[in-house]
Chain A
Amino acid sequence: MSIAYLGLESLRQLKNVRNTVFTFVVPLVMLLLFGSIYGASGQVDPSTGLPWIVVTTVQMAGYGGMMAALGQAFTIVTERSVGWNRQLRLTPLSGMGYLISKVVAALAVALVSIVALIVISVIVFHASLSPAGWAMAALGLWLGVIPFAFIAVLIGQFAKPQFAQPLFMVIFLGMAILGGLWVPLSVMPSWMTNIAQVVPSYWLNRLGQMGAHLSGDVMEPALVLLAWTVVLGAFIVWRYRRDAARQ
C-alpha cells in the first residue's frame, strides 16, 4: 500500500467541493443559528457542566465530522459505476487497499470538518475552553467518527447508484436524531435516551464532551464504538470476499 497514493487520494477527497459544501454548510448554519440562540451568555449546561456554546459546538462538529465521513459512500458508489475501480485493479493497490484508502480519506475529511467548525465557533462566539480542552474534544470526536467511515464503505460496497442517496439520508437522519446531534437528548423523552446508549453518534458526541471536559470514563464509549467497528469491519470483509469469489 503506497503512502503516496493514500496522500493523493485523501487530498483529492478534501478538494472535492461538492462534498465539502454538502457536509460542511449544513452543520455550519446550524452552529451559527443555535450559537446565537443559546448565545454567548455563558450559561452552563447542567448535565455536562460545560457552557452551552461549547456543548453546541461539540454537537455540530460531531455532526459535521459524521456527515463528511458518511459522504465518502457517494465517492465509492460513483467510482464503482464509472469503472474507475476496474482501472485501479490494474495497479498494485489491492481491493482491501482500496477500501482502506477510502476509510483514511473519510477520516481526513472528517478531521477537517471538525477542526473548521471548532475554529469558527471560537472566532464567532468566543466559545471559551482551554486549548487542551478543544484539542481533546476534537480528538474524541475524530475517534468517534471511525464507525461512520466504515458505514460509508459498507454503503459504497452495497448500494446501487440510485439507492445510495436514500440510504444515506435514512442513516444520517437516524444517527443525527437518535444520537442527539441536532437536539440535545436532555429535552427528549427518556426512552430515546435509552436507545441512544447503543448508537455510535451518541458516543461520538459524548467522547467530544469528555474531551472538552478533560475528564470522564472513556471505557464505555470505547467499547461501544469498538463493537460497532468490529461488526462493520467484519461485514466489509465478508462482502469483499464474496465479491472477489464471484468474479
Chain B
Amino acid sequence: MGGVNTTPATVARAAQRSRPAAIRLTGLSKTFGPLTAVDGIDLSIQPGEVVALLGPNGAGKSTTIDLVLGLATPTAGEAELFGGTPRAAIETGRVGAMLQGGALLPTMTVAQSVALIAAAHRHPLSVQEALERAKCTEIAKQKVSKLSGGQMQRARFAVAIVSNPDLLILDEPTAAMDVEARRTFWQSMQEFTDAGRTVVFATHYLDEADAYADRIVMMSAGRVVADGTPGEVKAVVSGRRIRASFDFAWSAEIEAELYELPGVRSVDHRGDVLTVVSDDSDAALRTLLSRYDHLHDIEVTAHSMDDAFLALTQARSDEPYRQNSTALIGDRS
C-alpha cells in the first residue's frame, strides 16, 4: 500500500471527506414553554455509521428525532440531512423512520399499508421486496389490528424501508418484543444496512446498543453526555475492577502503596477483600502480584454498559464528573 500518488484508496477517502454528513446537528434546541427538551446539541453522523441513541425517559431522544426529521421545528439551531433540509431528504426518499406514535391503520393489512406508503414515494422498493426484507411475507395478508407486538414492529419496519432509504431512524424499534423477536429484528436490520446505510436507533436496551451500534450517543436532560464507541463509553466508568482476597493486616501505608499502582482510580477494602479500579488493569495486576504474594481469588471485571449508563446519566447533577467523562471520550464531531 502506501502509494504516494493518488491511489484508489486515497481517492475513496477524499470522496468520503467531501460527502456531506448523513446527519448534522448544530446548536439544536427545543423548548416547550418552560421545559427544555433538547438543550443545544451538536452532533455529526457520517454515512455508514450505525449509531445508538441512549438515555433515560425524558432525556430528549424522541424530540431530537422529531427535529432531525423536520416533524418539529427547532427553537434554536439547525438539523441538516445529507447537506440539505430534512424535508428535502424525505422528499427524495433518502430517509425512512419508525416513530413512536406513528402507527399503522388497524383496518388495513400489512401489505396494503406498505403499498399505500410506497405509492406516496417516488422511487420505492417493490412492496414484495420491502415485505421480504422486513420478514413480513407470512403476515402480509394479516390485518394490522390482529398483529402481535413483535409483528407490528416488523410491519412498521417494512413501511420504514419501502422508500429504499440511505438513512434509517428507529425510535425504540424493539419495544414490546420478546427476546426471539428482537433477535430476528436486528438480523433484518443488519442485512438491510450491510450495503453502507446509516442507522440511528433510540433504545432502552443497553445490550442492544453494545451489540449492534458502532457508536453510542448518550443523552441526559436534553444534552449529549457521552459520544464514542461502545468500548469507549464503557471505559468512561474508569477502567476495570480488580478484586482479590488478602491475608495481611490492612494499614494506611498499604493503602497508599496501592494508590501508587498504574492507572489507579480508587482503592477500597471490605473485610479481607480489596478492590482496585484501574484504567490500566493489566499493568496494575502485574505490579500487585509481584508485590503481594498472598493475594488469592483474584477477579478482573470490565464495567458493564449499565454501569456506564448510570454513571453518565446521573452525572449531570455532578458537573465535574460530566466534564471528566466527555473529556475522556473526546470530541468526534
B residues 99-118 in Cβ contact with A at 8 Å: 99, 101-108, 112, 115-117
Chain A nearest CB from B99 CB (Å) reads 6
Question: Whole-angstrom distance from the CB of B85 to the nearest CB of chain A?
Answer: 13
For the complex with contacts A2-B119, A78-B105, A82-B104, 5 further pairs of A-B residues with Cβ separation under 8 Å are A88-B120, A90-B102, A90-B160, A91-B117, A91-B121
Q: Is A37 part of the contact surface with B, judged by Cβ < 8 Å? A: no
Contact among B92, B103, B120, B159 for A82, CB-based, below 8 A: B103
Asked if A186 is at the interface of the complex by the 8 Å CB criterion, the answer is no
Chain B residues with CB under 8 Å of A86's CB are: 71, 99, 101-102
Q: List 5 A-B contacts (CB under 8 A).
A: A8-B116, A89-B71, A90-B69, A90-B95, A90-B160
- Name the one of B99, B105, B112, B121 contacting A92, with C-beta atoms under 8 angstroms: B121
Tell me if A8 and B115 are in contact (CB < 8 A). Answer: yes
B91 part of interface (Cβ distance < 8 Å): yes
With a CB–CB cut-off of 8 A, which chain A residues contact B102?
Answer: 83-84, 86-87, 90
Judged by a CB distance under 8 angstroms, whether A93 is at the interface is: yes
Q: Is the CB of B120 within 8 A of A92?
A: yes
Q: Please name all residues of chain B whose beta carbon is closer than 8 Å to the beta carbon of A79 when the two chains form the complex.
A: 105
B120-A83 in contact (CB<8A): no
Q: In the bound complex, how far is the Cα of B225 from the Cα of A106, in angstroms? A: 50
**What residue of chain B has the Cβ atom nearest to residue A98's Cβ?**
B120
- A78-B144 Cα distance, complex, nearest whole Å: 15
Main secondary structure of the interface of B (DSSP, over half): loop
B96 sits at the interface (CB 8 A): yes
CA distance A218 to B105 in the complex (A): 42
Given A90-B90, A90-B95, A247-B73, check contact A5 B120 (CB 8 Å).
yes
The B-contacting residues of A in range 129-145, CB under 8 angstroms, are none
CB-CB under 8 A from B93, the residues of chain A are 92
Residue of A at shortest CB range from B165? A90
The 5 closest A-B pairs by CB, nearest first: A91-B120, A86-B102, A5-B119, A4-B119, A93-B120
| A239 beta carbon closer than 8 Å to chain B | no
B122 at interface by CB-CB < 8 Å:
yes
A82 to B160, CA, bound (A): 17
A91 to B108, CA, bound (A): 18
B96: chain A residues at CB < 8 Å are 90
Asked if B159 contacts A87 (CB within 8 A), the reply is yes
Q: Is the CB of A92 within 8 A of B90?
A: yes
Contact B122 A2 (CB under 8 A): yes
Q: What residue in chain B is nearest A1 (Cβ atoms)?
A: B120
Contact of A16 among B107, B119, B122 (CB under 8 A): B107
Please provide the chain B residues from 61 to 109 with a CB less than 8 Å away from any CB of chain A in the complex. Answer: 69, 71-73, 90-93, 95-97, 99, 101-108
